Structure 1
Amino acid sequence: MFDLKKEIFKKFDNVKGIDRIGTDDEMALLEVFEENTELTFDIDFLPKPMMNTYIYDSYFNIYYRDGSSNHIREHRKYEMRFLKVVLKIMGYSHDLYIESEDLERNHGANVVKIPTGEMGNVYLAKHKSSLAKIVLNNLGRKGRSKEKQIDLLMLLKKALRDKTEVTIYLCDLKLILFITDLYISCLAEDERSKKFLESICAVEGLYVR
């Protein structure tokens, strides 16, 4: 049986323990990052980690958890910054995969290549199909089942709202992004790609540290 993740991992030459990423062990990703400290960094909306957890939990973490419209609005301001950074760097990759348990229900696999098909079955907004498009999509090609669309924007938003976890493998850029809440843990084998990602973050007002 073809193992897509093994093929992805082969494209990263110097990441120790990379085959543990995405396993059922919740500590696996943390351990991989700890084993590759010289390759790892984080994207945050804070310039430094905030040690006063009372202040952090009382202010920053209430954006969407208490359901207040004002807090949700504030959260979305930061969320949009992260979305722009992620989508921009993804746009520069031509060998791109995304992993999330959330994909399993709708796509049948938790790791998929982006785009997923010849015509790029990925969309970033509410999908609207004309009657002609619906007919063509349902017909598909003879002998080939229609691939399900991936709402990439919604998947990323769910990760940034701490409702799922998403790992993005940008193989040609030698970058791995792990998204959870308003925070991205990154691993970069290519220093040039890291610098490029830093420049995107600077434009969007996010910190790389």
Structure 2
Amino acid sequence: MDSETRIKSHYRALLRLGLPIIVGQLGIIMVSFIDNVMVGHHSMNELAAASFVNNLLMLLYVFGIAFGYGLTPMVASSDHRQRHFSVGILFRHSLRVNLWMGVLLVGIAVGLIPLFGVFNLPDELRPVVMPYYWIQVGGLILVMGFNTLKQLYDGMSDTKTPMYVTVTGNFLNMVLNYLLIFGIGFLPELGLVGAGLATLMAR
């Protein structure tokens, strides 16, 4: 194999692994974006509340997701050496640690509530913000659990499966948003709370 062919094969392998990861990361961002767009068609106050909550909690999501990235290289190393038992042990311990990190993030999110005044949050938005905030905080632990599974698959060079799950979850979130925000059919019109429940169920 000449050098040019070898370089092309490296690029193909990189794209095959990297593009699904890019799509998956975009999918994580799209959850909040979809919520904001659809809620904005229902109420401006709810859009303001959703933007506040999503931007605030995104810092915790990023911190939690970054914390879980340590699993990928360890799994990749064990998987390359055909040490599948070690992969299982790594996953088990990582899942435990990440779920505890999710609990810690929930604690931090709860601790931020008394500081809402620092953000100059208008009093009239508090009744709109709080139910949505609590629902989204509950989803932190689910995010950490999924992220552990994602890093496991990424470490085994199967980056497509997490991408498919993320894209499917985004589609489900969008459908449930439409049904629960606007109260389609026999479902009640829940507005921003509906968006929060839709995101929680999709996660």
TM-score scaled by length of structure 2: 0.25
Greater share of residues in strand: 1
Structure exhibiting the larger radius of gyration computed from Cα positions: 2
